[in-house]
A and B are shown apart, each in its own frame.
Chain A
């Protein structure tokens, strides 16, 4: 049981290049999330997918697109990278069941630098 995995771990892009960050979870969780974390800051939600087939914007969605490929996988795409998107990106997943409250599980992060 690997939990939440992210690829790549590190990436350097030039301004204007595109790339896709991959995330997968093997816990059969319904919901998945993408966050970014800038130095000295807390995490900010970019996009989330409450269940397979749905995606919604979070706090900072501009410049990003997402795809919930299936229940396991949730990808984040930067179409035209900008230096302001230099950050650490975390993916997370959460089970949703009834009215109970379940914690989120986070991946190890992708460290992206845009020059």
Chain B
């Protein structure tokens, strides 16, 4: 699986957009980019994933560069409840064996401030 690099921490003002970067320069063509977050003491929560097109859902948007070597998770209007550790994970899709497994790094601790 491709290694990802994320800043250890970021701050964001409440109501503003939070842009969380992730570098994955060794990503392979069949690997997806996943984002999860973990609010203090809780289990991780899936946010969004994508292959090469930009994706949007009710929680966030995912922007993947054309060369797929980096991506940005965008929380359009951050609230205090978005304070969490955000994990960027790259792995293949598919089923069987270890293909569903996730490898978590240390993530980015996002602090949303009033």
Residue of A44, A97, A104 ringed by the most chain B CB atoms within 10 A? A104
Shortest A35–chain B CB gap in Å is 8
- Chain A residues near B105: list those with CB within 8 A: 42
Q: Which residues in B have their C-beta under 8 angstroms from that of A105?
A: 46
Whether B104 pairs with A44 at a CB distance below 8 angstroms is yes
| Contact yes or no, B107 A101, CB < 8 A | no
> Number of contacting residues on A, CB 8 A?
34
Flag if A96 contacts B49 (CB, 8 Å).
no
Could you tell me if A103 and B46 are in contact, using CB atoms closer than 8 angstroms? yes
Residue with the highest number of chain A CB atoms closer than 10 Å, among B34, B95, B98: B95
Q: Are A108 and B46 in contact (CB under 8 A)?
A: no
B98 touching A56, Cβ below 8 Å = yes
B80 within 8 A of A: no
Number of A-B contacts (CB under 8 A): 69
Q: Pick the residue among B43, B93, B97, B100 that contacts A108 (CB under 8 A).
A: B43
Determine if B29 is an interface residue (Cβ-Cβ < 8 Å): no
> From residue 71 to 114 of chain B, which have CB atoms closer than 8 A to chain A?
87, 93-98, 100-107
A33: B residues at CB distance < 8 A:
101
Inter-subunit contact B95/A97 (CB<8 Å): yes
Asked if A41 is at the interface (CB within 8 A of a chain B CB), the reply is yes
A104 near B100: Cβ-Cβ < 8 Å: yes
Tell me whether A94 is interfacial, beta carbon within 8 Å.
Answer: yes
Can you name the residue of chain A whose Cβ is closest to the Cβ of B89?
Answer: A42
Query: With the chains together, A94 CA to B102 CA distance in Å?
Result: 11
Which of A30, A48, A101 lies at the interface centre, i.e. has the most chain B CB atoms within 10 A of its CB?
A: A101
B87 touches A96 (CB 8 A): no
- Roughly how many angstroms separate A48 CA and B96 CA in the complex, as a whole number? 11
Query: B32 and A101: CB pair below 8 A?
Result: yes
List residues of chain A with CB within 8 A of the CB of B46: 103-105
A50 proximal to B (CB < 8 A): yes
Q: Decide: A106 near B95, CB < 8 A? Known: A58-B101, A94-B100.
A: no
Instruction: Please name all residues of chain A whose beta carbon is closer than 8 Å to the beta carbon of B101 when the two chains form the complex.
Output: 33, 45, 48, 58
Compute how far the CA of A7 lies from the CA of B2 in the bound complex, rounded to whole angstroms.
Answer: 34
Contacts of A92 in B (CB 8 A): 43-44
